[in-house]
Structure 1
Amino acid sequence: MIMNQKPRAVHFGAGNIGRGFIGALLAESGYHVVFSDVNNKVVDELNKRDTYEVRILEADEGSEEITDFSAVDSHNVIAELADPNVRIVTTAVGPPILEKLAPTLAKGLQARRSAGGGPLNVIACENMVNQTQTLAKHVHTHLSPADIEWLNQHIGFANCSVDRIVPSVQLDDENPLDVGVEEFSEWAVDQTALKSEIHPPVNGMKLTDNLDGYIERKLFTLNCGHAISAYLGYVRQHHTIDEAMSDPEISRVVRGALHEGGVALVRKHKFEEQDHAAYIERILLRFANPKLKDDVKRVARQPLRKLGREDRLLGPAYLAQGYGMPIDNLAHGIAAVFLFDMPDDEEAVQLQEKVKTHGIDKTVTEHTGFEEGGDEHRKVVDAYHGLKGK
């Protein structure tokens, strides 16, 4: 076991988001960050180098140098999790990987219990609702009743809301670990679920006892607009999000969709109207940033997950519907999902097969819950045929 007195953080996922957002904030806050990844090439690169650069992709381009990190594979991370100096565990692996990660995390927490490692907080930084509680449920399936009792007393599983665009851009650098990010970032964590104080505090992490508002604001605004611009961008043969947002038709629909969902968000969470309007405008500016070169196909991947009842597209649509608000632009964006035809995306292939086999009317009903013949269903289907015709 490693016995370094400096506080340590274990972060699962050493991709661009891990290195450019969560891992970077932890390192800047005084933690030694231990990255864990299944990609041995990335693990070796992290152990070979002493530093990497996080480059801010804005008009006034700046950079941050990240130091004090190491990396391990999934086998050696168990010993790291047992280290009493580890104070926080985070993830940025993608929602579908949480279940696959659970057995390793469970073994690490069992090792921590045996070693008397003390309390620890786990925060899954994924773009989904209740991501950390979902991870906790998967972990529980690999533990004994005694382990679970110990876990409930010592390990905090805190949901969060994360917001930073980290595109898959290739920087013209010698260091393959360097990553480009937008300047804006937000990381809100449910402080009521923590089992111990996060010390030292993490720069950029906001502890809150009202996480639901942060989650829905971000998911139904940033993620909603991001997805709609990607699906419409794909239909209209644009390659990047900024290119799509330069298309007046797409820009109009995205702005309209965010305002439709925004009216409902303001009512539900008692946001100030002017503040939320400013939040929408800031997001639209972020989408238009040409330096991000955010790939349309990357943002649009996994369409079935993005059509979840409480996710970024149907979530704001149902919320607006509940307040008697129109959803014309949201319906237009939802329709574009059914035209995302990418052979290398398993979910896109499944969705297209359903459209071919059952027709668009029944497929829309199945994946949106909108009753066939109803007003919302008609808007989605009409928009689908209009987009397909173009």
Structure 2
Amino acid sequence: MHDGTGWERTEPPAPVRIVHLGLGAFARAHLLWYTQGANEVSGAEQWGVAAFTGRSAAAAEALARQDGRYTLLFRSPEGDAPTTIDALVAVHDGADADAWREYFRRREVGVVTLTVTEAGYRRTSTGELDRHDPDVASDVERLRGGSPAVTAPGRLVDGLRARRAAGSGPIAVVSCDNLPDNGRVARRVTLDLASALDESLARWIEEQVSFVSTMVDRITPATTEADRAIVRKLTGREDRSPVVTEPFSEWVLDGAFPAGRPRWELAGAQLVDDLAPYEHRKLWLLNAGHSLLAYEGLARGLSTVAEAFADPGCRADLERLWAEASGVLPMAVGDALADLRARFANARIEHRLDQIARDGSQKLPVRVLAVAQARAAAGLPVGRAGAGVIAAWITHLDAVDVATSDPGAVALATRLPGRGSAARARLALAALAPSLARSDVYARHVAEVLAVRQPTLTGARP
């Protein structure tokens, strides 16, 4: 129910044809923006979104008072530009299992989308569902008894079970989370949990449900009270749930939609048959660049991507890193790099380095070391610029509470103190990528950078 402060809809909302799990800022800056754009140019073919919160009901409560409508504020170097998003037509507490199941029973609902973060898939280090996770184990028992699930895989299985029982036909599950091959990831954990519950349900999912992989890209910083004040000034309305984002956005999708989909391509999305080159381009240019700026920038006392990008030393290292990655990307990257330079220079988007620096042990293998592997496979030198990022990360571990900032590196961090550069490099690479091609050469490059940055180490040993 709206709150009577100008958020009332002047036209009937679009029919719910998409169900979304994870009502965070990124989904509202990306998925909902693309869906709104498709609706605006598709005439009678309208797709409304019913969204469920992942954890707290607070986001749903605030948006419900605005009929699901909110302001998306595009923040460029030139200024702020607001637009109203109408594609979100229903919002629910994630714990509302009855509403969740009811949407899945509707034949006209053809797409389920997810933004639950990488941790939300509840995987082991080898990719399967972590059945030892207490919440996963609890979900199996909950679903057997008809109770609501609490994990994302559990909720998917709960909804798909309701759809099968209703005979509502096929459906597509689309992950919009920032992890490689995310559709395959969603499929694996969903089938793993369904198999633990009911093998016949797992077979139905294999036959009737497609899992679409996507590459998503749009920086969306946390909204502040100052942002809300700007929205109030620009729109004349009190918005409890505005979202701030950069002008740039990219969405590339690979997969089938057996029950239809919005015409997202009319809003700029790309539908492709092979997502891997696009994922590699993002990981090796954008994400690897972010990691470099984070570790080198923090060491220089800087706080944001824009500050680090403006630093001559960071910028030179970044350009060298991009050159190494460009040599093994199967596409032209000139336009992508031009976009990245403009995005990184946008000081009005406060993308904080301390946030980017978290969980480097999980990020660096796919962002940086994968480039070294690709270069080795192509018969090229493994690359010194990438080795510099690894060295910067090793140094970063000395300056933070590793248990909080990078839990995956705790065991490594206990072995690093007091060792020389060569030993630190070898230990780090063994932890990050034990099968790294030409690891001896790469370790030497890492050690050389460490030796320059830490020329003296009390009690060091080779």
Residues 321, 327 of structure 1: 8 Å contact kept: no
Q: Secondary structure at the match of 2:228?
A: coil
Q: Compute the displacement of 1:73 (Å).
A: 2.3
Q: Note the 1:159-178 alignment, pairs <5 A.
A: 159-170=213-224, 171-173=227-229, 174-178=238-242
- Measured against aligned partners, the alpha-carbon deviations of 1:12-60 in whole angstroms (never above 9, x if no partner) come to 2111101111122224433222221112111211211132111111134
For residue 113 of structure 1, report the CA deviation from its aligned partner: 0.9
Q: Cα distance, 1:93 vs. partner? A: 1.9
- For the Cα contact (< 8 Å) 1:156–1:195, is it kept in 2? yes
- Structure 2 vs 1, CA of residues 5 and 354 (structure 1 numbering), >3 Å: closer, same or farther? closer
Q: Is the 8 A contact 2:246 2:349 kept in 1?
A: yes
1:252-288 alpha-carbon deviations (Å, 9 max, x no partner): 11111011010111xxx2x24xxx1232122122111
Question: Does the CA-based 8 Å contact 1:47-1:71 persist in structure 2?
Answer: yes
| Partner SS state of residue 184, structure 1 | coil
Question: What letter is aligned with 1:239?
Answer: S
Tell me the residue number matched to 2:101.
78
Aligned to 1:380: 446
Q: 1:44 to 1:384 in 2, by over 3 A?
A: farther
Letter of the structure 2 residue corresponding to residue 340 of structure 1: H
> What is residue 356 of structure 1 aligned with on the other side?
414
The answer as to whether partners of 2:309 and 2:315 remain within 8 angstroms in 1 is yes
Q: Which amino acid aligns with 1:39?
A: S
Instruction: Note if 1:277 corresponds to 2:334.
Output: yes
1:12 paired to 2:4 = no
Alignment RMSD: 2.4
**TM-score normalised according to structure 1 size:** 0.89
In the alignment, the residues of structure 2 paired with residue 317 and residue 48 of structure 1 have an alpha-carbon distance, to the nearest angstrom, of 51
What is aligned with 2:386?
A: 330
Distance in 2, Cα, partners of 1:295 & 1:376: 29
Q: Does 1:217 align with 2:275?
A: no
Q: Percent identity?
A: 23
Say yes or no: does 1:233 pair with 2:289: no
d(CA) in 2 for partners of 1:371, 1:138: 30
Q: Secondary structure at the match of 2:406?
A: helix
Higher mean alpha-carbon deviation, 353-362 vs 32-41, is at 353-362
Contact 2:376 2:438 in 1 (8 A): no
Partner amino acid, structure 2, of 1:158 = V
CA distance in 2, matches of 1:196, 1:34: 17
Which aligned runs of 4 or more in structure 1 are off by greater than 6 angstroms? Answer: none
Alpha carbons 2:373, 2:382 under 8 Å: kept: no
Q: Are 1:340 and 1:348, in contact at CA under 8 Å, matched by a contact in 2? A: no
Letter in 1 for 2:107: P
State the 1:184 CA deviation. 1.2
- Letter of the aligned partner of 2:221 in structure 1? P
Q: Which has the larger radius of gyration?
A: 2
Residues 350, 215 of structure 1: CA spacing in aligned structure 2 closer, same or farther, 3 A cutoff?
Answer: closer
User: How far did residue 104 of structure 1 move?
Assistant: 0.8
CA separation in 1, counterparts of 2:316 and 2:343? 16
Q: 1:373 to 1:47 in 2, by over 3 A?
A: closer
Q: How does 1:287-306 map to 2 (within 5 A)?
A: 287-306=344-363
Deviations 1:276-305 (A, max 9, x none): 123212212211110111011112222121
TM-score (norm 2): 0.76
- SS in structure 1 of the partner of residue 251 of structure 2: strand
Paired with 1:180 and 1:200, the residues of 2 have a C-alpha distance of 24
Q: Where in structure 1 are there 5+ consecutive unaligned residues?
A: none
Q: Which runs of 5+ in 2 are unaligned?
A: 1-12, 40-46, 123-150, 230-237, 457-462
For the Cα contact (< 8 Å) 2:228–2:242, is it kept in 1? no
Q: Is the CA contact (8 Å cut-off) linking 1:84 and 1:118 kept in structure 2? A: yes
